[in-house]
Amino acid sequence: MLLDLPQELLDAIVDQASGDLDTIRACSLACSQFTRQSQAHLFSSVTLTQPFECLALFERICGSPRLAIYVRRLVVAPAVRTPNATLGDVSKEPLLRTLIETFTNLEHVELVGGDIMCPLPNFPSPLAAIFKHDLTSLDLCGVSFPSDYRHLFAVARAFPRLAHFGCTDPKLLVVQASLPVENTDELEEGPMVKSLATGYDFWDDHVVSCLLRTRTCPVSINNLRILKFSIGLNRNIPSLIALLKICEGTLEELTVSVTGHGYSANTFEPIPIRALRRVTFVGNTTTVSVNTENYFLMNWYCKSLQLAGGTNCRLAEVELYAVSDINRCFVFADLTVACWSLLDKTLSDKRDFPELTAFYVSVASRRERYMAYDPQQAGGKSVQQGGPSPILDEFRGMLKRLAESGVARVYRIHNNAPS
Are 146 and 138 in contact by the 8 Å Cβ rule? The answer is no
pLDDT tens for each residue of 351-393:
777 887 777 766 655 444 333 333 333 333 333 333 444 444 4
pLDDT given at position 359: 73
Across residues 191-203, what is the average pLDDT?
80
pTM of the model: 0.77
In a domain, residue 118? The reply is no
Are 221 and 196 in contact by the 8 Å Cβ rule? The answer is yes
pLDDT given at position 39: 76
Are 194 and 188 in contact by the 8 Å Cβ rule? The answer is no
Domain that holds residue 406: 259-419
Q: Is 274 helix (H, G, I), strand (E, B) or coil?
A: coil
Which residues have C-beta within 8 Å of that of residue 176, sequence separation ≥ 6? none
pLDDT tens for each residue of 257-306:
877 665 655 556 788 888 899 998 877 644 443 445 555 666 777 778 87
In a domain, residue 351? The reply is yes
How would you label 56-77 residue by residue, b for 16+ Cβ within 10 Å and e otherwise? Answer: ebbebbeeeeebbebbbbbbbb
In a domain, residue 138? The reply is no
Which of 59-68, 98-107, 353-362, 393-402 has the highest average model confidence (pLDDT)?
98-107
In the structure, what pLDDT confidence band is assigned to residue 195 with cuts at 50, 70 and 90?
very high
Higher pLDDT, 214 or 68: 68
In a domain, residue 328? The reply is yes
pLDDT tens for each residue of 122-133:
888 999 999 999
User: What is the per-residue DSSP string for 76-119?
Assistant: E-PPPP-TT-----GGG-HHHHHHHHH-TT--EEEEESTTPBPP
Across residues 315-343, what is the average pLDDT?
57
Higher pLDDT, 378 or 185: 185
Structural domain count, the chain: 1
pLDDT given at position 258: 76
Which of 174-183, 236-245, 337-346, 405-414 has the highest average model confidence (pLDDT)?
236-245
Are 280 and 321 in contact by the 8 Å Cβ rule? The answer is yes
pLDDT given at position 109: 97
Distance CA 143, CA 269 (A): 31
pLDDT, mean over the chain? 72
Indicate the range of 78-82, 87-91, 201-205, 264-268 predicted with least confidence: 201-205
pLDDT given at position 399: 57
Distance CA 113, CA 144 (A): 8
In a domain, residue 205? The reply is no
What dihedral do alpha carbons 13, 42, 116, 83 form, nearest 10°? 40
- Examine the pLDDT at 74 and tell me if it is beyond 70: yes
In a domain, residue 102? The reply is no
- Examine the pLDDT at 341 and tell me if it is beyond 50: yes
pLDDT given at position 211: 84
In a domain, residue 29? The reply is no
In a domain, residue 216? The reply is no
pLDDT given at position 120: 86
Distance of CA 268 to the CA centre of its chain: 23
Which residues have C-beta within 8 Å of that of residue 58, sequence separation ≥ 6? 95, 98, 99
Across residues 20-46, what is the average pLDDT?
68
Which residues have C-beta within 8 Å of that of residue 323, sequence separation ≥ 6? 282, 283, 284, 285, 286, 364, 365, 417
